[in-house]
A and B are shown apart, each in its own frame.
Chain A
Amino acid sequence: MILCQECRRNEANIHIIKNVDGKQSELNLCEQCARKKEELDFSFEPQFSLHKLFASMLGQSVRGSREEMTAAAMQCPSCGLTFAQFGQIGRLGCSECFSAFEGRLKPLLRRIHGSCIHSGKVPSRAQNRVNILREIDQLKEELQVKIQGEEFEEAALLRDRVRAMEGTVQEDLTEKGDPQ
Chain B
Amino acid sequence: MKQIEFSLSRWMDGSGPESDIVISSRMRAARNIKGHSFPCLASDQETAAVLKIISAAVDGKPDFADFTNWTMGKLSTLERQTLVEKHLISPFLARESTHGALLLRRDEAVSIMINEEDHLRIQAILPGLQLEETWREAGRYDDLLESELEYAFNERFGYLTACPTNIGTGLRASVMLHLPALIMTRQINHLLGALSQVGLTVRGLYGEGTEIIGNLVQVSNQVTLGQTEDEIISNLYSVIHQVIEQEQNTRQALLDKKRANLADRAWRALGLLKYAQVMSSQEAIQLISDLRLGYDLGLIKTVNHKILNELLVLIRPGCLQLLAGKELDNSERNLERPAQIKKTLDRHLE
Contact = CB atoms under 8 A, between A and B. Distances in A.
Given A118-B169, A121-B169, A175-B156, A94 B227 contact: no
B59 to A, nearest CB: 21
The range of chain A's interface size is 35 or more
A139 interface: no
A128 to B, nearest CB: 11
A156 interface: no
Nearest to A131: B155
A36 interface: no
Contacts of A116: 156-157, 225-226
B192 interface: no
B164 interface: yes
Interface centre among B139, B142, B162, B226 (most CB of A within 10 A): B226
Interface stretch (A15-23, A57-65, A105-113): A105-113
Nearest to A92: B162
A130 B161 CA distance: 19
Given A112-B165, A114-B223, A125-B150, A120 B155 contact: no
Nearest to B146: A123
Interface string B151-194: 11111111111111101110100000000000000000000000
B65 interface: no
Interface string B28-44: 00001011111011000
Contacts of A79: 37-38, 41
A90 to B, nearest CB: 7
A47 interface: no
A94 B33 CA distance: 9
B147 interface: yes
B85 interface: no
B117 interface: yes
Given A93-B38, A121-B169, A125-B150, A113 B158 contact: no
Contact of B158 (A90, A92, A120): A120
B226 A113 contact: yes
A93 to B, nearest CB: 4
B199 to A, nearest CB: 8
Contact of B226 (A105, A118, A122, A129): A118
Contact of A122 (B139, B153, B165): B153
B296 interface: no
A89 B40 contact: yes
Contacts of B37: 78-79, 93-94
A95 B34 CA distance: 7
Given A114-B226, A124-B146, A175-B156, A91 B34 contact: no
B156 A118 contact: yes
Interface string A81-94: 10000000111111
Nearest to B142: A121
B137 interface: no
B228 interface: yes
A121 B229 contact: yes
Nearest to B29: A121
A98 B224 contact: no
Interface string B205-240: 000000000000000000111111100100000000
Interface of A: 78-79, 81, 89-95, 98-99, 105, 108-109, 112-126, 129-130, 133, 175-176
18 contacts: A79-B37, A79-B38, A94-B152, A95-B35, A95-B152, A98-B160, A113-B225, A113-B226, A114-B226, A116-B157, A116-B225, A116-B226, A117-B156, A122-B158, A124-B147, A133-B155, A175-B156, A176-B156
A-B CB proximity, top 5 nearest: A115-B226, A118-B158, A95-B152, A93-B41, A113-B225
Given A94-B152, A120-B229, 13 more contacts: A91-B41, A91-B117, A92-B38, A95-B34, A105-B157, A105-B164, A112-B165, A112-B225, A113-B225, A121-B159, A121-B229, A124-B146, A126-B153
